Amino acid sequence: MNMVSLLPSFVVIPLFTGLILSIKSKKMWYTHFIALGSTILLSILALLTPLENSYYHVGGYNDFVGITLAIDPLSRIVLIMVQVLVFLACWYSIGYMDHYTDHSRYYALVFFMLAGMNGILITADFFNLFVFMEIATLASYALVAYGGKSHELEASFKYLVLGSVSSLFVLFGIALIYSQTAALNMFIVSERLDFSTPIAWLIVVMMSAGLGLKSALFPFHSWLPDAHSSAPAPISAVLSGVLIKAVGIYVMLRFYFNIVGIENAPLSLIAWLGALSSLTGVILAMGQHDFKRLLACHSVSQVGYIFIGIGLGTYWGLLGAILHMINHAAFKSLLFLNAGSIEHASGERNFHQMGGLAKVMPWSNATSFIGFTAIGGVPPLNGFWSKLLLMLACIMSGQWALALIIACVALMTLTLFPKIQKYVFLGDLPEKFKKVKESPLSMIFPMLILCFFCITLGLLLLVPSWREYYLVSAVNVLLGGKWLGSSYVP
């Protein structure tokens, strides 16, 4: 069968699943069964997508008239990452969501978010990109407020206002693109965009502001700790692990490298803003005493790392950025799931109030130990390789200051997390936690799988054939310059 004709199914399957799930059912197992089945199917489809660039013309219309869907090695790797993480989050939700009500609507929102993210990754049309971005983020606003407690509503409102402003910036950018090129198809836009006029620079400014807000780059980071820590734990894992990457970073990579071209993108600004957000994130994280809030603050700093790599714009910088994007999805999701498991079992999120949980929660203890060592960059776990790669890339480009910032932030991260491990799991067990039980197996298994990823993802870099297959091909897409469909048939 021709795999390209399956490309629209990445949007159709989650939308359809969401629709089925939003019809309320009394049987719980049925909801879980449909959600898990659909995500497994999507993961398999993502792994089967072709490696070479493929195009699908919706409705059979050509690039000038219709909407084109495209997949290339860069979108492929992010696509696989998204499907696998959402699958694990759905699996984890079976155990975790039992103290929430209305599972069918919860899953329906998760699937609408997934449809939006997949749409962003496979579309090659600017307005379509905006629509999918809104689908993904609108579902995520509702999911952040899902608990319905006052602080969750507050976080959701903050997130919603900033998210809408950023979407409007993106839409304004798209309107300007249409005014300049009379096209919305990315291939045609990348060909026609003319940088001799000031409007083209306005486009870059508008899109950078919108996408920077969406991915919580330094001056716009204030919404992220609230939003990501207030959501239910599996949703925090998806938001921090893949949503900011699919909605913010992936689109920014595509826009800078494949649409406007490296020479016109404000790359050094991005690198320095990334450095500032990595410093701010880790300093903010040091002052927190809520486990999930600390992880969310730390996400700001790791996204900053990715932006340093992007801002260098060199082969090694981009390789490091893409590897760190994948690694961060693995270890930050693992830690969010851990935090959720601890909260689920003990009802506590402030880690100064905890202690000695290693005795009653051995599995959570082991997985969070692996998560902490991976995020701290201890070799041979995955965090070490991407941080090393980013630092070497900075030194190779002669940016010693950036390399120093990366090293400082890595050091602060390394000192930050053993402290939490000590507060949460070591020491004496308080009286109130004597009856705490380990979380159910449906929550432990996804954590173990993510642990496995944390240990083995370094191999993506170390095994040459895998490096070629997954990472180098994606970097080559970015360094290949303007994005022209090779099967370009006007």
Partner 1 sequence: MIYALCILLFLLGLYGVMVKRNLIKIIISLAMMTNAVNLFFVLLAYRKNGQVPIITNFNTASTVADLAVDPIPQALVLTSVVIGLGTTALMVALAIRLYHSYGTFDITKIRKLKG
**Contacting residues toward partner 1, per CB under 8 A:** 127, 130-131, 134, 138, 141-142, 145, 148-151, 153-158, 160-161, 164-165, 168, 171-172, 175, 178-179, 184, 225-226, 230, 284, 287-288, 293
Nearer to partner 1, 287 or 398 (CB): 287
Task: Decide whether 247 or 391 has the Cβ nearer to partner 1.
Answer: 247
Handedness of CA 35, 41, 47, 50 (dihedral sign): negative
Instruction: Report the residue number, 66 or 355, with the smaller CB distance to partner 1.
Output: 66
Quick one: CA torsion of 325, 328, 330, 335, rounded to 10 degrees?
Answer: -160
Q: Which residues pair with 185 in a beta bridge?
A: 125
The answer for residues whose C-beta is within 8 angstroms of residue 348's C-beta and 6 or more apart is 342, 354
Task: Give Cα 445 distance to the centre of its chain.
Answer: 21
Extended strands (E) in 72-169: none
The burial of 263, by beta-carbon neighbours within 10 Å (0-12 exposed, 13-18 middle, 19 or more buried), is given as exposed
Q: Which residues pair with 54 in a beta bridge?
A: 71
Give me the least distance between CB of 416 and partner 1, in Å please.
15
CB of 158 to partner 1, least distance (A): 8
Output the smallest distance, CB 464 to partner 1, in A: 45
Reference 152, options 213, 98, 209, 228; nearest CA is 228
Q: How far is the CB of 432 from partner 1 (least distance, A)?
A: 24
- CA distances from residue 101 to 26, 98, 146, 439, 488 in whole angstroms, order as listed: 12, 7, 10, 19, 50
Judged by beta carbon, residue 138 or residue 447, the one nearer partner 1 is 138
Going by the DSSP 8-state scheme, the letter that residue 7 receives in this structure is T
Smallest separation (angstroms) from partner 1 to the CB of 424: 20
- In whole angstroms, the minimum distance from the beta carbon of 167 to partner 1 comes to 8
DSSP 8-state code for residue 439: P
Least Å distance, CB 387 to partner 1, is 26
Would you say 318 and 309 are in contact if contact means Cβ atoms under 8 Å apart? yes
- Complex with partner 1: residue 46 or 115, whichever CB lies closer: 115
- The helix/strand/coil state of 350 is strand
CB of 427 to partner 1, least distance (A): 26
Identity of the residue, 32 or 221, whose beta carbon is nearer to partner 1 in the bound complex: 221
Q: Which is nearer to partner 1, 157 or 469 (CB)?
A: 157
Shortest reach from residue 165's CB to partner 1, in Å = 6
Size of the chain, expressed as the number of residues it contains: 490
* Phi-psi category of residue 217: left, alpha or beta, with phi > 0 → left and psi -120 to 50 → alpha: beta
Say which amino acid occupies 237: A
* In the complex, minimum distance from the CB of residue 232 to partner 1, in angstroms, rounded to a whole number: 16
Q: What six digits make up the tokens of 309? A: 């790599």
Nearer to partner 1, 16 or 127 (CB): 127
Single-letter amino acid, residue 478: L
**Do 95 and 364 contact (CB within 8 A), yes or no?**
no
CB nearer to partner 1: give 284 or 461.
284
State which residue, 174 or 342, has the beta carbon closest to partner 1: 174
How far is C-alpha 385 from the geometric centre of its chain's CA atoms? Answer: 19
